[in-house]
Each structure stands twice: as C-alpha cells, then as structure tokens.
Amino acid sequence: MSDTHAETVAFVRDTMLPQQEPPASTVGFLGWSKTNLFTGPFNTIVTVLCSVFIVWLLWMLIPWLLSPTWNATSLGECREFLVAAGRVGEHGASGACWGVIRERWIQLLFGFYPADLYWRPILAFVLLFVALAPVLFSDKVPGRLLMFTMIYPFLFPWLLWGGTIWSPICAALGFVILFAGVKYLSGVIGQLASIIVSVLAAAAWWLFVSGAVQDALASILPLAIQSVPSRDFGGMMLSITIGVVAIACSLPLGIVLALGRRSDLLIVKSLCVGFIEFIRGVPLITLLFVASTLLNIFMPPGTSFDIILRVIIMATLFASAYMAEVIRGGLAALPKGQYEGADSLGLDYWQSQRLIIMPQALKISIPGIVSTFIGLFKDTTLVSVIGLLDPLGLTNSIRADQAWNGIVWELYGFIAVLFFIFCFGMSRYSMYLENRLKTDHR
C-alpha cells in the first residue's frame, strides 16, 4: 500500500498557478511612500510635519510669484496692478513686481556691454560649450574638436575685449615656444632644465618681444574688432568670465601644488606648503582688495594692469590652494601598491603620475573638485565690493533708479535662479562623471 501511494503522489508541481498582481501597498507611489516616508512612528510624524510646512510655504509663495505685474514700468505701477487684481492684504498690495525683471534682465546678463555687440559674448559662451565638449564628453565627441579646444582660450578674450587679432596669436606663440622647448630640449639638457629654460623663454617672449611683434603685425595688416573696456563688463557675463577662467586655471595649478606638497625636494615642498597655507588663511575678499588697490603699486610706472585680469589671477590663486588640498587627499587615498606597480613597469615619475596615479586620484577627488568649482563660481559675487558690477553690484544701480527704488526680492530671486542653474549643472555633471568612471559592479 505504501509503495502504491509513493508511486501516485506527485512531488513536482505539474500545473502553474495563475499570475497575480503584487499588493498595491508594495508598488508605485504608495509602496515608495510606505518604504521611505512612513517606516515608523518617528518617520511618519516628521513626514507629516514637513508636508504641512511645504504646503504652507507653497500657499504663501505661489500667489506672490503669480503676480500680474510683468508690464509694469515702475514700482508704483506694480502696486496699481496688484490693487486692480484684488491683491490687497492687511499690509497693502501683495505680490512680486516682475516688471523690473522684464525691463532690466538684459542689464543683469550683460551689464553695460554695448548693445550692438551682444553677439560677441553670446558667441563666446556658445563656443565655450563646443570647446568643453571634448573634455567633458570625450567618449561621445569627435577627438578632432580638441584642436578647437586648444585654440579657444585665445579666442575667448579676443571676442569679449576685442582689439587686434594679433594679440591672441602672439599670446599663443608664447605657449608654442614653451612646449617646443620642453619637447626638443629635454633630450639635450635634461627634463627639469628644459622646463626651466622653456618657461624663461616664454616669459621673455610675453614680456619683452610679444608687444613689439604685435604692433608691427598690426601696422602691416590691421585686423581688429571694436575694443570694449573692462568697465563696461558686468552682470552674469562678468561672473561667468571670471568663474570659467579661474576654474580652468585653478585645476592644473592645484595639481602642481599638490604634487609639490608631496615632493621629496625640501625647497619645492616648503614653497608649496607656504603658498597653500598662506592663501587658505586669508579671506578671498582681502585678496580682491589687494588686487584692486595694492597690486599696481608693485608694477612698473605706466603699467596698465586690467582690473578684471587682476581679479581673475587672485581668484585662481585662491581656488588653486583649496584644489591642491582636495587633490592631495585623492593622492593620499591611493594604496601604496599603485605606486609600486608604476615603479615595476619602469615608468619615471612623470609617466607614472600621468598614466597611473593622477587619473585615479582625480577620480577619487571628483566630489571635492566640483564643490571647489561651485564655491569659486559663487564667490565671484564678491567682486562687487571692489566696484565691479556683477549681478549683485548691478542691483544697487537698478534700485538707485527712482522707478524701482524699493525692489529687493525680485532682483535677488532672479540672480539666485541664474546661479542655481549653473551650479546645479556642474553638480549633475559630476554625478554623471562619477557614474561613467565607476569601475566596480555593485
């Protein structure tokens, strides 16, 4: 009997149950809310309190934002429009006065740059994204664009400031002298000596020869566009100009300082440590005051040193000190085996840094590097204290107009949105870059 029962009972299911939908409480928004917002009494209370606060904030903010004042030409007209629309509370007319943004948004973007030349900064910043594409998206952009990326640093200032075309060409020739000297002299006098000689030769070209050659070429073939003085720069154009140049220059300078701080050469290490600690111990606003008032004292008589260039130099030095510490942290995080592996391959110091050490250190340091970039870009608003008309500096001149005297939140809110767009873009790119360079498979 037991044998017969054993032969007739099936231990493997030969029919499938019909497929059923998952419980509604585990999928979709309801499931996500249960998992993330209502996992316990404490989380539930916090979620409810935060939801009430957000609803109250939106209830107060949205009517203020949706104000029918876009066509107003003064603060008084804004109040008249609000009264006509029934936006009158116990403290008077309530609502944003967006007329100031409609009337002054171009000034907030370009400052006092000549209106008929707006195409030049627009073209310069459009070409900026083209030049950055091979660097930011190297796997999706043709490598031939790298040639334009190398040309763009000389094209950018020429488009903004104008003048003769021979000025950026002569500046570029200095870098040609620098790289040619390093390439062809390293096998003759050694790598370090070739770098020193090439730097001195390039500096001599820029300081003593370039100006005469530029004037001679300009007299023979006067190719130039209208010059725009630095005092006409302002608005977001000024902030982007200072931020982009300082960001682009601070990263390589920070790498050099980080390597110098870890160097075994006592003099090099001492100089780098002294520079980093001094810059990090001084507020940026102090350096900007030095750039605006004291720097000309140490220049030869009659020397005209552009104020924006002075600010860019100080901002670059300030950011490079912080960048050096961020990169030094990435270098310190690498295991010793990476250095030993580079030595076992027979690579010299610079080859190991370029091919093995520095790529990994920069990958580790991406969050800190981008945070430094964002902080530097926001710090460009400090130039208003030395008389440059960045977006915040322009708000004072706008509010000095009797028609807009008393406008505050609308101007600051518009500027905050502009800065948020750029900073959020940098943050999202850093996340994209981290995911693209991720080598683990978790």
156, 284: one domain: no
End-of-domain residue from the set 207, 225, 243? 225
Structure tokens at 421: 């767009």
Residue 321 included in any domain: yes
Farthest CA pair distance, the chain: 118
In a domain, 308, yes or no: yes
More confident residue, 344 or 138: 344
What pLDDT is recorded for position 79? 86
257 within a domain of the structure (yes/no): yes
* Residue 361 and residue 243 share a domain: yes
183 vs 88, higher pLDDT: 183
In a domain, 368, yes or no: yes
Domain boundary among 199, 225, 251: 225
Residue 386 has pLDDT above 80, yes or no: yes
Confidence of residue 154 (pLDDT cuts 50, 70, 90): very high
Q: Is the pLDDT of residue 412 over 90?
A: yes
The boundaries of the domain holding residue 355 are 233-442
Q: Answer yes or no: do 410 and 381 share one domain.
A: yes
Q: Do residues 252 and 401 share a domain? A: yes
Q: Global pTM?
A: 0.85
Where a domain ends, among 176, 194, 225?
A: 225
Q: Does the residue 131 lie in any domain?
A: yes
Please write the tens of the pLDDT for every residue from 294-325: 776 766 666 667 889 889 999 999 999 999 99
Same domain for 410 and 296, yes or no, is yes
Residue 335, both tokens: 């295991």
**3-class DSSP state of 392:** helix
Q: Are 313 and 208 in the same domain?
A: no
14 part of a folded domain:
no
Of 278, 258, 254, nearest to 268 (Cα)?
Answer: 258
* DSSP-assigned letter for residue 95: S
Q: Detail the DSSP E strand segments found in 127-271.
A: 163-164, 224-225
Residue 346, CB half-sphere, CA atoms under 13 Å: how many?
Answer: 0
Instruction: Give yes or no: residues 198 and 273 share one domain.
Output: no
Would 72 be classed as within a structural domain?
A: no
Q: Are residues 404 and 347 in the same domain?
A: yes
What total number of domains does the chain contain?
3
- Confidence (pLDDT) at 415: 94
Residue 26 within a domain: no
Cα gap 418→399, rounded to integer Å: 19
pLDDT band for position 439 (cuts 50, 70, 90):
low
Spatial CA neighbour of 251 closest among 368, 125, 332: 368
342 shares a domain with 293: yes
Same domain for 281 and 400? yes
Comparing 74 with 26, the larger pLDDT belongs to 74
- How many Å separate Cα 214 from the centre of its chain? 33
169 plus 263 within the same structural domain: no
The mean of the pLDDT values for the chain is: 85
- The yes-or-no verdict on residue 143 having pLDDT over 90 is no
CATH code (residue 246): 1.10.3720.10
Q: Give tens-digit pLDDT for 23-62.
A: 766 767 777 777 778 888 888 899 999 999 999 999 888 8
183 shares a domain with 293 = no
